[in-house]
Chain A
Amino acid sequence: LRFVLPLLLFGSSLMTDGWAQRKGASQRTSAAVSMKSETEGSISVSFVSAPDGAALTGGATGQRSLDLGAVSLAGGAQAANVHVQNFPGRFVVSTRFGLSIQNPAQHSSTVTVLAALALPDPAFIFRLDGITLQPVPQLLQNQARIGPTFLHRLEIDVPASVTEKNSQLHNAILFQIIPN
């Protein structure tokens, strides 16, 4: 019981600050700092331009944009490092980008990477490393190492039947990183 009670008190203080999110008494502040430390040490993801890929734009490293520019079956791509490959009845636009996962807390050395389309797209097919993306998260990597930047290949199938009406491709890929 001598050992249990201090532990109980400490646990109670930690949980109260962590859950209630209050900035009250100084005693609770120290516990809150402990929780904040966990927040700072949490896992994070960042996108980087691949040396042979299209340039990423946008501010936040975890929220960037990839503009593939104008693409066409006969004319190819106009943007640098964007490739177009022709197939009967369709063409494929592709480029590469880097994904880096950081975890200062180092509680795990690998993560599971899931990817999903933000919006269902009836016209275009998005593939990441050969995996067709859907609004439901798809497993991209189940043992991705934390730290190094991994390059990923984005491919978009453009059917020849897509016309001027839906020529604007606009979607987003949502990545979810889960520590193993």
Chain B
Amino acid sequence: MRRGTKTMKKLTLFAIFAALMISSAAFAQTTASGTLSVTATVNGTISLVFNSDAAGVTLGGAGTNAATLAFGTVQAFGGVLTAGVTRTTAANSFTVSSPVDVFVNKANITSANYTLKAQLNAADAVNTWTVGGVPVTNAAAATITATGAYAANVPETVALTVPFATASGTAISNAINFTATAN
């Protein structure tokens, strides 16, 4: 009788265990998994923006790569010049100039410095243009610097020389295209 009770207890315990296992097998849910492969190619680039120089004319569109430099009304002698404009007068012409900060940045590229070139957008047979003291025409891009420093405002003086022969009231307008190339 005692042995029978023990056996029954064992069977009951085993049955409970089995029932639990069945329950577990029936309701256990396996985890799911998924894999999302991600690929991309990072290209190295450099960027160029113009900033207003503290000693120069305040640029329109400063901080972008399409800024405007307005010298305002200029004349050989006297008058009031736009803030930041410097004037020098020679025998037969006068020159107005302003420093412009050129900021070239690099990303994802191995390059110690850059070459900066400038070219006048349209031919100007009357006036003379220089950037950083280097004459600039529309014939070919002129090298302004071959060792430009990245991530720094590099002041480049933009100068326009106007002959005395130019008629009063003449509007002068042109564009200078800058190109920075990573070395």
Residues of A within 8 A of B (CB): 1, 4-5, 7-8, 10-12, 14-15, 18, 35, 38, 42-47, 56, 58, 62-75, 91, 93, 97, 99, 101, 103, 105, 107-108, 118, 126, 154, 156, 158, 160-165, 167-179
21 contacts between A and B (CB under 8 A): A7-B15, A15-B21, A38-B25, A42-B30, A56-B36, A62-B33, A63-B34, A71-B42, A72-B44, A72-B45, A74-B107, A75-B43, A93-B40, A99-B34, A118-B35, A156-B40, A164-B110, A165-B110, A172-B35, A176-B31, A176-B32
List residues of chain A with CB within 8 A of the CB of B14. Answer: 8
Please give 10 more A-B residue pairs, beta carbons under 8 A apart, in addition to A69-B41, A169-B40, A177-B33.
A1-B8, A47-B34, A56-B36, A64-B37, A71-B43, A72-B43, A74-B46, A160-B106, A172-B35, A174-B33
Cβ of B11 < 8 Å from any Cβ of A? yes
Instruction: Decide if A167 touches B35 in the complex (CB within 8 Å).
Output: no
Out of B21, B36, B38, B108, name the residue touching A158 (CB < 8 Å). B108
List residues of chain B with CB within 8 A of the CB of A18. Answer: 25
Tally A-B pairs: CB < 8 A: 172
Contact string against A for B residues 78-114, beta-carbon threshold 8 Å, 1 for contact and 0 otherwise: 0000000000000000000000000000111110000
Instruction: Decide if A66 touches B109 in the complex (CB within 8 Å).
Output: no
Name the distance in Å between B49's Cβ and chain A's nearest Cβ: 10
List residues of chain A with CB within 8 A of the CB of B29. Answer: 42-43, 103, 105, 107-108, 179
Instruction: Decide if A164 touches B44 in the complex (CB within 8 Å).
Output: yes
Docked Cα-Cα span, A68 to B38, in Å, equals: 7
Docked Cα-Cα span, A14 to B18, in Å, equals: 10
Cβ of B26 < 8 Å from any Cβ of A? yes
Name the distance in Å between A175's Cβ and chain B's nearest Cβ: 4
Instruction: Decide if A160 touches B39 in the complex (CB within 8 Å).
Output: no
Name the distance in Å between B136's Cβ and chain A's nearest Cβ: 24
List residues of chain A with CB within 8 A of the CB of B73. Answer: none
- Which residue in chain A gives the minimum CB-CB distance to B42? A167
Instruction: Decide if A72 touches B107 in the complex (CB within 8 Å).
Output: yes
Say yes or no: A164-B109 contact (C-beta < 8 A), given A70-B41, A72-B43, A73-B47: yes
Docked Cα-Cα span, A94 to B45, in Å, equals: 19
Instruction: Decide if B37 touches A73 in the complex (CB within 8 Å).
Output: no
Instruction: Decide if A73 touches B40 in the complex (CB within 8 Å).
Output: no
- Which residue in chain A gives the minimum CB-CB distance to B46? A74
- Which residue in chain B gives the minimum CB-CB distance to A76? B45
Considering only residues 17-31 of chain B, those with a C-beta below 8 Å from chain A are: 18-19, 21-22, 25-27, 29-31
List residues of chain B with CB within 8 A of the CB of A73. Answer: 45, 47, 107-108
Instruction: Decide if A58 touches B37 in the complex (CB within 8 Å).
Output: yes
> Which A-B residue pairs are the 4 nearest by beta carbons?
A11-B18, A74-B45, A160-B107, A68-B40
- Which residue in chain B gives the minimum CB-CB distance to A177? B32
Name the distance in Å between A71's Cβ and chain B's nearest Cβ: 6
- Which residue in chain B gives the minimum CB-CB distance to A35? B25
